Amino acid sequence: MVQELHAPVKTAEITREEGFVLYRDMVLGRTFEDMCAQMYYRGRMFGFVHLYNGQEAVATGLSTLLRPDDYSCSTYRDHVHALSKGVPARAVMAELFGKATGCSRGRGGSMHLFSAAHNFLGGYAFVSEGIPIATGAAYSAKYHGTDQVSVNFFGDGATNNGAFFESLNMAALWNLPIIYVVENNLWSIGMQHARASSVTDIYKKALAFDIPGYQVDGMDVLAVRRAAKQAIERARKGEGPTLLECNTYRFRGHSLADPDELRDPAEKEFWRKQDPIKQLSRYLLEYKLATAEELKAIDEEIQAVVDDAVQFADDSPEPPVDEIYRFVHAEDE
Amino acid sequence: MVQELHAPVKTAEITREEGFVLYRDMVLGRTFEDMCAQMYYRGRMFGFVHLYNGQEAVATGLSTLLRPDDYSCSTYRDHVHALSKGVPARAVMAELFGKATGCSRGRGGSMHLFSAAHNFLGGYAFVSEGIPIATGAAYSAKYHGTDQVSVNFFGDGATNNGAFFESLNMAALWNLPIIYVVENNLWSIGMQHARASSVTDIYKKALAFDIPGYQVDGMDVLAVRRAAKQAIERARKGEGPTLLECNTYRFRGHSLADPDELRDPAEKEFWRKQDPIKQLSRYLLEYKLATAEELKAIDEEIQAVVDDAVQFADDSPEPPVDEIYRFVHAEDE
Amino acid sequence: MAVKYYFEALHDAIHEEMTRDSAVMVLGEDVGQYGGSYKVTKGLYEEFGEWRVLDTPIAENSFAGMAVGMAMTGVRPIIEGMNMGFLLLAFSQIANNGGMVRYTSGGQFTVPMVVRGPGGVGKQLGAEHSQRLEAYFYAVPGLKIIAPATPRDAKGLLKAAIRDNNTVLFFEHVLLYNLKEEIEDTEDLVIPIGKANLLREGTDVTILTYSRQVHHCLQAMKTLEEEGYDPELIDLRTLKPLDLEMIGASVCKTHRLLIVEEDYKTAGIGSEIMALVNEHFFDQLDAPMVRLASKDIPTPYNGRMEAATIPQVADIIQAVKSLVD
Amino acid sequence: MAVKYYFEALHDAIHEEMTRDSAVMVLGEDVGQYGGSYKVTKGLYEEFGEWRVLDTPIAENSFAGMAVGMAMTGVRPIIEGMNMGFLLLAFSQIANNGGMVRYTSGGQFTVPMVVRGPGGVGKQLGAEHSQRLEAYFYAVPGLKIIAPATPRDAKGLLKAAIRDNNTVLFFEHVLLYNLKEEIEDTEDLVIPIGKANLLREGTDVTILTYSRQVHHCLQAMKTLEEEGYDPELIDLRTLKPLDLEMIGASVCKTHRLLIVEEDYKTAGIGSEIMALVNEHFFDQLDAPMVRLASKDIPTPYNGRMEAATIPQVADIIQAVKSLVD
Ligand SMILES: Cc1ncc(C[n+]2csc(CCOP(=O)(O)OP(=O)(O)O)c2C)c(N)n1
Ligand SMILES: Cc1ncc(C[n+]2csc(CCOP(=O)(O)OP(=O)(O)O)c2C)c(N)n1
Ligand SMILES: [Mg+2]
Ligand SMILES: [Mg+2]
């Protein structure tokens, strides 16, 4: 159209299809988590529920580049990592409702999401606990001679735990196909990163193990994606581990039980302005990869997906209490 | 004398008295350990006995600069660290003989030497276990507002353990008066340092925590002493922790039970040539700080001290078996 | 007298002991600026400063080891485990050094350290956050273990634990923090470690329990009394050392024993109690001792399954009846 | 038949299973080039290469976690704890994930992992190197626990453990590695987990024991037989799950129970056995069950004190007599 003639000639770094994939995935994460908050306050789910709002660019930037057979491993803040790896919203929501149809059959809950079918190795409730496990999966890939890669998400606080250092050393020694993704959201519950780490630039710690480390704008899904692409390629080519520090922020309290009184409103405001979803939609529009209508349509489509997930979870049966011992041992099928 | 006139004018970095202190301490360590080997093979001591031969410059270079009220903390390779901190040879030998007069009253043994009177916080049998403990002692000093410093000895293998990284981070955060002394003897039992650490320069890991880290020739007691002086001063002035990597080598197997088949004879030979005691005696003679006779006299004097320690240990009573429950609880005096 | 919540009582105990003894300090995750995940340390950071209320990184193994080092050198640290389960990462420091340094050093060093925090099955917290570690640590020599059920006991026993020169594991229950009770306004409320608490005298059967299950048992009492049963109810309060004297006296009276515990049935506190009673009071028993404990499964998230995992009031009533009838 | 040392039998089990199944691998400190501190993995590095015989840094927590991750993804790792005590550092990975992932994942993932290595009181190794962890891990759901006393059992049970799809803790005894026994030359020597071994039929008293104490008991048998006693001796072999069937059958015959164990008396394997026997066979007991176990103290270095810490042959004889007479 006429307009286009006048439009500055810019080339986007992603195709229209890729843009939709990214947008859809981030909106799914956001919409799903907002729904969780509602359901939690309505007493439909319990325990500690840690939402991902604000950090979507990280899960999406990484996971949308993974193959189904690649491994992904997370923490207690795992809903969106599971979704981005392909675990259906229905299965995740049903798990949060404690239903038999949940991705962990109702036994795991918010902090223990698993999906063998998607090589999603799980949410782990202990900080840093997933790091060695994801490293072990990377070892398996190499052991079996596949070109699978393992992606491991964890927070800034986890990088003060010994498991982080021990694992990086081993991944470097054995040149394992793993990407350590630190979601540096500046806080560990009420502990400021700067009060917990004597060196706040986490990517620099990779130097201590001769692993490439990069700092990425974790609010910019394209920046994350760029770094992820490189790291995944390296891993797949057998060139070893990478540490990605993604600077991001959580828009909600640590968990839905957290009063969140310590974080400065100005700090929150500063980061809210960089909402990764808004940034991407601006980009898609600016580069004419999508129209406002198309994005709105996706928003609605996703809302429907999430509503359906709730409906599904609602309609699903509770796991039979008389099967309470089932799965304690491998013998139980 | 005439000769002196012709002697090249050089100034030594230590006084004659200091030279004697260093020499005496290193010879004590060496002589004591050689005696342990004899006693072990004669069935006078049991369990895993880890000797320090070859690494004397490290314990001596550090410990002879410490005040009695400074803290020292070690590993299972702790005999000489205890001696250098002032624990009498009698008490250490008696402990190895399992006697009531031993520095741990016969309950600890080779890997669990303690002496409250000398603020020797102990030998710890688990690798890296002493690192947080020495860090805690440094915290105590700061907590009580004293200018005591805490010195912590451990090996290259311990630097692959999470406790090393966790502790360095905390020491840096709280600017604790501690010196982490890594005795890099290139091996962890049969595991070569280069196969266990992706970055072999251990002092560089201090960077990950913004702690000053230095690499020192651990076979040269004067070099160790120079670095130690700086580090101890820093700590005492409240300027925080330091990591000292001392490159050294053990002249014997990992423990007296280790066949020591993996280490290359050429490697052993290379390091034997740098025997820290021989180096110091050469220095003392070259700088005319001591005569061969004087050094020989010290050797004999120390031999007598160690012989006496054995005699003492021999003559000492066993702890009464009916006191076997004593000291399980603090209530037992 | 003043009404205090369980978490307040714990707070007061720490506050009083920190005021009384400058060597007492607290360390752990979010104990300072955040005031503690369950508000137990609220306000202490502001009052005593960052050196005595130390916010630590997430490094359980090392900060527990640090606490041992502090305790060996004149400080009296109180470790808060944000959840006691996380201290599985510090198992070696707590067991090897908290428990054994006194002995291996031939009595030269003491480790006056308290390790406290929430445990137990809460409201669908999932397997890793619902652990009961009292049994895991039970065999470790040198340790004392406490698990209070009420605000008053929480305060009095925590003060005793802080003053004790041994390493004391102090298990709070995540579902008891908001329990209220009237407590005397004295700073001298120190309840001796190792003394159980006789909650109800009875003749039918001896019920031994602790922590949250005390309240399940108290509920069960009502029904049981109405139906004419006369159980003797004892809150152990201290799990190690056990008050074998009170346990024995009661068993010799009732000749029947029921243990109600929230830890796993297998190798739980109950199994050790049964072993001891068998050793000391075998002839007094008229019936097999009964353990009412959690099922031997990781705590499931699902609410109904979770409820079915731990002993409930109805189970207790049922157990008493089948023991007595 | 061929005479094998305990350590050789373990080696053969691993070698055969690695040959049989390419998913089986070994990791731990000095398992590769060094051949293992007790030579159990000798030669495997040369034969199977560094990927299947992995020398790890001293990072127990993380290499145990790695093994869990491997086991979840198609590898069958065998962790060697250079000394089982060191795995206290890996407690959370072994318990949370080795024990619970199968359940928390709703049965989607299995963790077929073996954790093996030496434990027990050796020859004056000191407190930290003389630990018996079987009781510390006993309550953890999902785990199986084995403690073989002979080369044949060591081989047959280790093969079974390697083939098992659960996480199995396999406790070897540091003083048994040089024990010899004739073993059949078959590669099919797989001894089922959960089955105890009746070593001597008798009528007087049932003796349950495991690991090194089996040999103390066998020595005691001689004297006891000469003196006209007729004990029944059972080697538990598998500590979890217990062979309650054989235990029950024996108790129903002898009506007396003695447990001989090297772990701490308090909260040891014996206390759980007593609880179970009390629950299932109370009426069969003619006398209090007796635990002969280690004293509740950190193992002292001094030789005499160390000897006095664990059950000795004379103690067993004494205990049987006072139980039977
Ligand atoms: C081993 C362990 N210690 C403590 C906790 C309690 N805890 C849960 S989340 C958290 C903060 C983690 O912060 P970070 O690693 O930055 O991740 P984020 O929550 O910010 O995503 C803490 C201390 C835990 N779950 N596990
Ligand atoms: C936690 C733990 N893991 C393993 C061991 C077994 N072990 C004892 S010493 C040692 C090697 C330590 O090497 P290094 O730290 O370099 O000290 P060095 O012996 O060379 O002085 C190992 C693996 C142990 N004692 N503790
Ligand atoms: Mg964070
Ligand atoms: Mg070394």
What are the CA-CA distances from residue A192 to residues A76, A214, A258, A262, C34 (Å)? 19, 21, 15, 9, 10
For A244, the token pair is 């990605």
Nearest Cα to Cα of residue A306 among A113, A88, A138: A88
Q: What is the mean pLDDT of residues D223-239?
A: 98
**B160 CA to centre of ligand 3 in angstroms:** 25
Residue B254's pLDDT is what?
98
pLDDT digits (tens, 9 = 90+) for B90-101: 999 999 999 999
Read off φ and ψ for residue B215, nearest 5 degrees.
-105, 130
A46 lines ligand 1 (CB under 6 A): no
Residues of C in contact with A325 (CB under 8 A): 295, 297
The verdict on a CB contact (< 8 Å) between B330 and C101 is no
Asked if A184 contacts A248 with a C-beta cutoff of 8 angstroms, the reply is yes
In this predicted structure, what is the pLDDT of residue C237? Answer: 98
**Region C83-90: what's the mean pLDDT?**
98
Which of D37, D133, D301 is the best mutation test for B, with the most CBs of B within 10 A?
A: D301
Q: How many CA atoms lie within 13 A of D125 on its CB side?
A: 19
Residues B31-48 have a mean pLDDT of 97
**Contact list, C75 vs chain B (CB under 8 Å):** 136, 139-140, 143-144
Contact B207 A208 (CB under 8 A): yes
Chain mean pLDDT for chain A: 96
Q: Which of C31, C58, C82, C133 to mutate to test the pocket of ligand 1 (most atoms within 8 A of CB)?
A: C58
For residues A241-253, average pLDDT: 98
- Which residues make Cβ contacts (< 8 Å) with residue D14, sequence separation at least 6? D24, D26, D40, D41, D44, D78, D158, D162
Q: Averaged over A176-185, what is the pLDDT?
A: 98
Choose the closest CB to B162 out of A166, A173, A209.
A166
Please report the DSSP string for B84-104 in residue order. HTT--HHHHHHHHTT-TTSTT
What are residue C27's phi and psi, to 5 degrees? -140, 155
Average pLDDT estimate for D157-171:
98
At C93-144, the pLDDT tens digits run: 999 999 999 999 999 999 999 999 999 999 999 999 999 999 999 999 999 9
Task: Give the model confidence (pLDDT) of A49-65 as tens digits.
Answer: 999 999 999 999 999 99
| Average pLDDT of the residues of chain D | 98
CA distance B17 to B19: 5
> Residue D262 to residues B313, D132, D259, D293, D294: CA-CA distances in angstroms?
30, 7, 10, 5, 5
Residues in chain C closer than 8 A to D271 (CB atoms): 267, 271-272, 274-275
Taking contacts as CB-CB distances below 8 angstroms, the residues of chain C near B123 are none
pLDDT the model gives residue B293: 98
Please identify which residue in the block is written with the tokens 């088949």: B261
Query: Which one is catalytic: D8, D15, D80, D129?
Result: D129
- pLDDT value, residue A10: 74
CB atoms within 10 A of CB D321: 15
Query: Do A144 and A171 touch, CB atoms closer than 8 A?
Result: no
Kindly state the percentage of chain D with pLDDT values over 70. Answer: 100
The reply to whether ligand 1 has any atom less than 6 angstroms from the CB of A254 is: yes
Count the neighbouring beta carbons within 10 Å of the beta carbon of residue A325: 13
Q: Closest to C100 (Cβ–Cβ): which among D127, D140, D290?
A: D127
Residue A5's pLDDT band (cuts 50, 70, 90) = very low
* End-to-end Cα distance, chain B: 61
> Which among A125, C294, C144 has a CA at the least distance from the CA of D97?
A125
- Region of poorest pLDDT, from B2-6, D224-228, D278-282: B2-6
Q: Kindly state the average pLDDT of the residues A159-177.
A: 98
- The tokens 């059972």 sit on which residue? D234
The per-residue pLDDT for B9 is 54
Q: Is D11 a catalytic residue?
A: no
The minimum-distance atom of ligand 2 relative to the CA of B55 is 21
The pLDDT, as a whole number, for residue A141 is 98
Residue A79 C-alpha to ligand 1 middle, in angstroms? 16
SS3 C50: coil
Which residues does chain A have within 8 Å of residue D71's beta carbon, measured at their own beta carbons? 136
Task: Report whether pLDDT(B253) > 90.
Answer: yes
Cβ–ligand 1 contact at A111 (below 6 Å): no
- The CA distance from D37 to the nearest CA of chain B, in Å, is 9
User: Residue A26 pLDDT > 80, yes or no?
Assistant: yes
User: Distance of CA C81 to CAs A64, B249, C89, C113, D42, Å?
Assistant: 37, 40, 11, 13, 42
Going across the sheet that includes B242-247, the strands are B71-73, B150-155, B178-184, B242-247, B213-217
Burial class from Cβ neighbours inside 10 Å (0-12, 13-18, 19+) for residue D304 reads middle
For ligand 1, atom 18, name the residue with the nearest CA. Answer: A155
Helices (H), A145-238: 162-173, 193-196, 221-236
State yes or no: is D60 an active-site residue: yes
The band of B333, judged by pLDDT with boundaries at 50, 70 and 90, is confident
Cα gap A191→A188, rounded to integer Å: 5
Model confidence at A3, in pLDDT bands (50, 70, 90)? very low
Which of C73, B231, B208 lies closest to A197 in space, CA to CA?
A: B208
CB-based contact C266 D138, cutoff 8 Å = yes
Tell me how many residue pairs between chain A and chain C have CB atoms under 8 A apart: 114
| Residues whose CB falls within 8 Å of the CB of residue D46, separated by 6 or more in sequence, listed in order | none
Mean pLDDT (chain C) is 98
Interchain proximity A134–D69, CB inside 8 Å:
yes
What confidence score (pLDDT) does residue A6 get? Answer: 52
Q: Is B174 on the interface with A (CB under 8 A)?
A: no
Q: What does the block give as tokens for B41? A: 């093979």
pLDDT band at A333 (very low <50, low <70, confident <90, very high): confident
Those residues whose C-beta lies under 8 Å from the C-beta of residue A243, and which sit 6 or more positions away, are A168, A179, A180, A182, A202, A203, A205, A206, A211, A212, A213, A214
Q: For a pLDDT cut of 90, what percent of chain B falls above it? A: 96
Mean pLDDT on A235-261: 97
* A169 contacts D72? CB cut-off 8 A: no
pLDDT bin (cut points 50, 70, 90) of residue B2 is very low
Closest residue to C298, CB basis, from D142, D272, D291: D142
Report if pTM > 0.90: yes
* Mean pLDDT, residues B285-302 taken together: 98
pLDDT digits (tens, 9 = 90+) for B185-227: 999 999 999 999 999 999 999 999 999 999 999 999 999 999 9
Name the phi and psi angles at D125, rounded to 5.
-85, -10
- Ligand 2 pocket test, pick from B131, B189, B260 with the greatest ligand atom count within 8 Å of Cβ, gives B189
Q: Are C146 and C115 in contact (CB under 8 A)?
A: no
Calpha distance B123→D178 (Å, rounded): 29
Interface predicted TM-score (ipTM) over 0.95: yes
Q: What is the pLDDT of residue A325?
A: 98
Question: C214 and C208 in contact (C-beta within 8 Å)?
Answer: no
**Residue B265 pLDDT more than 90?**
yes
Determine whether the interchain pair A189/C30 forms a contact, defined as Cβ–Cβ distance below 8 Å.
yes
Please determine, for residue A4, whether its predicted confidence score (pLDDT) is greater than 90: no
Instruction: Give ion ligand 3 contacts, CB < 5 A.
Output: A 155-156, 185
Tell me the three state secondary structure of residue B246. strand
What is the enclosing helix (H) or strand (E) of B230? helix B221-236
